[in-house]
Every structure is written in C-alpha cells, then in structure tokens.
Amino acid sequence: MKPTYIRVAMLVVCLFVALGAWAQQPGSVTQTASSATPSIPAAAVPQLIEFSGTLLDRESRAMTGPVGVTFALYAERTGGAALWMETQNVHPGTNGNYTLLLGAASKDGVPEELFAKGEARWLGIQEEQQAEQPRVLLVSVPYALKAGDATTLGGLPASAFALAGSNPSSSGQPSLVLPFAAGAQSPAPQAPGTLDVTTAGGSINKLAKFDTSTDITSSLIFDNGTNVSIGNTSPAAKLDVSGSGIFRGFLRLPSTGTATATLGFNSQPFDLFASSFNSSTHAAVGQHFRWQAEPLGNNTSSPLGKLNLLFASGTGTPTETGLSISNKGLITFASGQTLPTVAGNETITGTLTAKQLLSNVATGTAPLTVTSTTQVLNLNASFLDGLSASAFQPAGAYATLGANTFAAGPQTVQTGAASIKGVIVKAAASQTANLQEWQTSTGNVQASITPAGAFVGPLGMLISHVSFGGVVPVSGTAGCNCGGSGTISLAREGAIILKTGTTDFSTASVGGGGSSLGINRPGTFLSVRADWVSPGGIKAGHVFTVLAGGRSIGGFGFKAVGSALNGVTFANFTETDVNLAATLTAFTSVDLLAVRRASSVEFYVNGVLKGSSTTNLPNGVDDMTNDLYEITVSNGASNSSDAELGVNMLTVGIPMF
C-alpha cells in the first residue's frame, strides 16, 4: 500500500457541565432535595480518529476492495512493540482513495490513555501480505481525546462530590458527604470497635493493596496511564511483566480479522527475541523469531490452517522460513534441511528421495536388502554376487576360456536354458578341436561332428565347415582361379588371404567344399567371418563376394563394394543386391550369416537382421558339378594398391531331405 496523503482529524465535543451549588440555610444542619441543582449528563467523547489514504498496488495502480489493512500505534518511529492495533476491511474508491475511522473495529475505540502524557505517537499501516509502510507522526488533534477527562475528577463525575463548605456536620464543621443514589438509605453508622483504614502513603502510579487489614500500601503493579507492568516501572507494552508467569487457562492469540471470500487472516503473532553482537558493526543485533497461524485453502470447501515460523534480523519485518506444521501435525521443512544421524533402525513407509545413499557398514554385512523380486532399473553396483565387472563377459562379445584343465575323456556340457545359441571352440596351434556329440539329458545324440569335420545336425542336416587349414596352397596361384597378379595364401592361422596385386582388374577366387546339391532348399545357410586387410586402405574399386553355391545354377551370400556391405542372390548369372546399411572395415572381423527361407533369403550382420531378398533365388535345379561355396576378390581399374581380404570359419549347411 502506498498512502498518497494522510488527513487526521478529531471530532472534539466540548461539554460544559453546570454544577449547581448546594443551597444552605443559616443554622440548618440538613440538606433538602430542592437545594440541589439538577445535574446534566456528561456526553461521552468519541474514541475514534478519522483517517484518509490511498491503496495502490506495486505497479501504482488503484486497488479494489475489500482489502485487509492493519493499523497500529507506536511510541517510536521505528522498532518497538505496537501500543494498539486493529485490522479493518477497507473498500477503496475508483482511484484507490478511502476514508475510515480508526477504532471503529475495536470495542472501546482508540484508548485515550495513549495520549494522556502528550508523548509522540506514530501510525503504522500494513496491507495484507505486505510489509508495514513507513510510520506517520500523528499531529495534535488526536491528543484532544484527553479532554474527555475534563468532565471527570479522577474518573468520577462531578455529582460524586459535594461542594466545598456544603453539608456541615452536626458539630458545625464541614465534612465530606459520600454520594449515594437518590432514594437510597444513608450508610449505617460504623459499628463500635471498627477501626479506620489508614495509609502512610505510596509510590506514584503504583496500585494500592492492603498489607494489613487496616493499612494500604503500594503493590507490585505499576500503571503509568498508558501501559501496565508487573515487576518493573517502565512498561514497553500494554502489559509488561518482569519475571515468570503461570497461566491456568487458555492463552489466546486471535486472528487479526474475520475472513471473507477474498481474504483470510493470520493470527496475532507470538514473537521471541534474541540479541547477538556483530563484531563488524560493534553493535547488538536483534534476532526476531515469530510463530503465527496462517489460513490455508481460503474460500474453498475445506479451509484449513497451518503454523509457520518467520524470522528477521535487526529491525526487519519477519518473513517465512519455510518451516510449517499442518493441521494434522505434519512438518514441512525449510529448503536445505538435513536429517540428523540415526543410531538405531528407522522405518519409512513412503518414498525416500535422495541424491545419493551412502553406507559405512563393515564388509560382510549387506548395506542394502531388497525383499521384492521386481527388477530394479538403472541399479549400478561395483560387485555382483561378490564378483567384479571384469569377471563377466560383456554382452555381444565372445567368451574365452582360460587355460583350464579338464579330466580325461569326454566332457559333458549341460545347461538349464532352453537353447544354446552358439559355442565356438578354437584349438591351440598343436591341437585339434574335436567336438563330438550333442546329447539330450537321456544320452540321445542330437548332432555330431565327424572326425573329418563334417557336421551332422538335427534331422539329418549336413554342414560343411571350411577352416582353410591345408585346403589351399600356402602361397601362389595353385588352386586359385586368379587373374592378373592375384594370389592366395594362409598368412594367418585358419584364415585365407585373397590378394589381387596391383594389376588392374586382378582377381583372386577360390571355391570347393563339395557339391552344391540342395543349395536351393529352405534352411540352407552360409556363415562366414571376413575383414579387409589391404595395406593401402580400402578403395572404391575393391569388390569382395562370398556365396553359398554359385552364380549359374544359383547362390546367395554377401558382396562388399569398398566398405559398403550388401546382401546378394544369384540365379542364372542374374544378380540382386540388397543394401544392408552396414560396412566391412579394415582389420575388424564381421560375422555374416545368410539363411535361405521358403520364399526369400535373409541377411544377418553380427547377429542382427539387416535385410532380405525375394528375387533371383536359387532356381531349384540340383547340379552336383557346382561348388558348395565361392569366394572372389577384385581390385577394379586404376587402383594404386592391391585388395586383400581375410576370410575364415566359412560354413555352409544344407538340409539332407
């Protein structure tokens, strides 16, 4: 709220009370009813102060009502506790202007004792949910409230006293006549033996008390006309107590107003102050903590409340800390709250959210126990069942058995899984790999490898495995369908190297493995591992083809043009290429698998299906004169280096029926 002007006015009613003299006849010792002048009732002075102001929001726009505004009177310009306060719902006009009467929302209005001693009074104005605005000094008119005491003497009306010299006693000496109601009986004479109450005097502003049955002295209660204190004579608030207190009933802090559909009200605050010394400013700094109840869900079907902690340092207005207690006793902690170390066991029935969970439990005790069998996603650990990550084979890689010693005789491999996708056995240089049989749990042979290396699979499938060890010449062109400067060699164990040389259009080709009889049958497959080993790098003119079967009667396999890898099918020398979106790179072996289906050929790269072909499939004519497989590499024209291809572990499988 930004008041644009303040007009303080006070309606002062001056009352003149004519006090009639008591009539007295010479020698008369009594007073007649007619001798008194009729009294005039005293008019009460209104305990209200007219106040005008303007309500503007933070953008200096006129606010619309109703708006809850708290008005408070202080003895100081800044700091200190309020001497009086009240909250009113203000209804500003079109321009935000309003006029109201301070004290209208209080039963007794503005207390007149606030202005009894002529001390300065400052008015503080605080709009709902906003900080208090700079205080305004009240001018002299409100102090006219003290004029209300002109109709009284010590708080009693003039009718309570007799005029000096009136109503003489029977002894002829003037005496004080105590007032009593008209028609009431005069007080009875004091009983014989009754003692008069005496006093030796007391302290100014101290309330009187009986210290004996006949003596009055000062009590501990001090009243300066504005504030009351117990245990001190400098009250700083309406009630200032030095010492402890016991309340044998409710201690209530009511709300600062009555809620409306547009506005709820906080409770009166419960403030606690501490004082700490600032070494930089060399001054004490007040630490102001405030508890207050606040509305929650105002103007809803389920309005509630909460208890919040506020804080301010120095003379600032307390603001929310974030610590709050709901109406059900649930605590909301401030941002940054940490929990203390717990020595015992704690049970959390809800969700625990944390950036990191740390355990300092000794080795041998599990730091985390999970009862549920549901898989926990994204759970990383340094050990699995006590084993480090290096103890496990990464997914997609081939497991390698170390130098293990097995007992003499056949070894049985048994798994609980439904199937074994593949096992590769590689012999040492001076040994021969010899996998003999796959058996069921009852010992029935499902598949076997003959001593010559022929694999007889389930249901009579015949598989020809070519390792190239001793199958082709170690070097040269013998056994090679070579053109130009092409050669074949066994430059590395179990692998054939087809080399074109540097002559343009040089080729190196090799085939064999037996007859291609049945190459067109569904279920036939080609498996091969290959990589470029060209010392001069891969050129666009380098072409590699590996087929099950041949180009005439029919065949299928893979073709690499440079590093681009395609699937390929042949029928009567007619070719279909399928882009597999895969590459054949240098010195990185790639596992290739092509499978003949009933009406297509599927192509797999490193175990992933990359494409298929439905055209130019083997034509179904069996020809025993064709080779079982064919491998060809060429370098094209104008190549500065030869094309070299490494091929090993070529396998062709043909169903036998």
| Per-residue 3-state assignment (H helix, E strand, C coil) for 460-501 | HCEEEEECCCCCCCCCCCCCCCCECCCEEEEEECCEEEEECC
Q: What CA dihedral angle connects 539, 541, 542 and 545, to 10 degrees?
A: 150
Write down the pLDDT at residue 573: 83
* Strand, helix or coil for residue 62: strand
Q: What is the DSSP string of 1-31?
A: ---S--EEE----------PPPP--TT--S-
- The two structure tokens encoding residue 101: 């009467």
- The two structure tokens encoding residue 406: 């097995």
Indicate the pairing of strand 215-223 with strand 198-199.
Answer: parallel
Separation of alpha carbons 78 and 70, rounded Å = 16
In the block, residue with structure tokens 């104005």 = 125
Considering just the CA atoms, what is the radius of gyration of the chain in Å? 55
Chunked into runs of 10 residues, the chain (657 residues) has average pLDDT values of 39 30 35 40 68 83 86 90 91 88 89 83 87 82 53 60 52 46 54 66 86 86 94 91 89 92 94 94 94 95 95 94 94 86 80 81 80 80 79 64 54 51 47 52 56 48 49 48 64 61 73 68 85 76 85 85 91 90 86 90 92 84 64 74 73 72
Write down the pLDDT at residue 128: 82
Write down the pLDDT at residue 314: 92
Q: What is residue 187's DSSP assignment?
A: P
Write down the pLDDT at residue 203: 85
Separation of alpha carbons 628 and 626, rounded Å = 7
State which fold the 7-158 domain adopts.
Immunoglobulin-like (2.60.40)
State which fold the 487-654 domain adopts.
Jelly Rolls (2.60.120)
Cα torsion 267, 273, 279, 282: sign: positive
| Strand ranges, E, within 319-469 | 319-325, 331-332, 383-384, 387-388, 437-439, 445-449, 455-456, 462-466
Is residue 1 within 8 Å of 69, Cβ to Cβ?
A: yes
DSSP H helical ranges for 193-258:
none
Domain regions of the chain by residue span: 7-158, 198-234, 267-296+305-315, 487-654
| Strand ranges, E, within 55-135 | 67-74, 84-90, 97-102, 122-127
| Fold agreement (7-158, 487-654) | no
